[in-house]
Copies of this chain bind each other. A is one copy, B any other.
Amino acid sequence: MSESVAIRQLRPVQRQALSDAVYEQLRHQIVSGELAAGDPLPAERLLCEALGVNRGSVREALRRLQQARLVDVRHGGTSRVLDYRQSAGLDFLASLLLTATGDFDPDVVRSVMEMRSALAPDIARLAALRGRDVAAKLHSLVEAMGNAHDDAAQLQTLAAEFWSRLVDAADNVAYRLAYNSLLETYERCRQLLVQVLGDELRDQASYAAITKAVASGDAAAAEARARELVRRGESGINRVLGQIKPARRTRT
């Protein structure tokens, strides 16, 4: 049927609630500095008029900005913009990934990779201590990696699943939630990282070694192997980041 061909080319239309659009606009203005920390925010009714939406949508957006700690809303007074560097949480990292021009902020990419490098070894260590029963599942994932050795995107998916299981085995809720936050940022530049982390993703031996260490409860070995693994990705990242842009020093 010719229809099935046409259908295949269709993509779900993207819908966005008004409050989401309002949130995005204000968030962008804050991140870009057009609304600097300490600046007063326009009154809700002014925003309604300027944005052409009702007050409820504006309020929903402001509530979200408040929860993200980007603004300080006070009953009766004028709401003010906060310094998100001092107040926002890790959830906000994904919002900082894309610059105004639409390309990736190398500082954010580097930051994510550095944090990953610091956490991964400890996650592996704790998993070896507390979650030895996850080894079977890890083992099957490593096998699947072997079968998908040439499909970079598939390897990426398997690696994410591997780490997710490992984080669960580490039995540390802070790591679990931080992993979720980092993964969200991670996924948004997936295309970029799939290329850069090629060596790391193909290092099936390291994944297998971590699995073995976890299975035997050897915390030190698990930590060391994980450190080796993420180190592979680091070099690739540093190489690419150096090309994209010379180090940008934004000291306050």
Residue contact A173 to B93, C-beta cutoff 8 Å: yes
Contact size class for A?
A: 35 or more
CA distance A122 to B63 in the complex (A): 34
Contacts of A87 in B (CB 8 A): 180
Interface residues of A in 16-32 (CB under 8 A from B): 17, 19
Nearest neighbor of A249 in chain B, beta-carbon distance: B171
CA distance A69 to B183 in the complex (A): 14
Residue contact B88 to A90, C-beta cutoff 8 Å: no
Contact with B along A66-101 (1 / 0, CB 8 A): 011100000100000000011111111100100000
Contacts of A174 in B (CB 8 A): 90, 93, 108, 111-112, 114-115, 182, 185
Residue contact A89 to B181, C-beta cutoff 8 Å: yes
CA distance A180 to B174 in the complex (A): 13
Residue contact A172 to B126, C-beta cutoff 8 Å: no
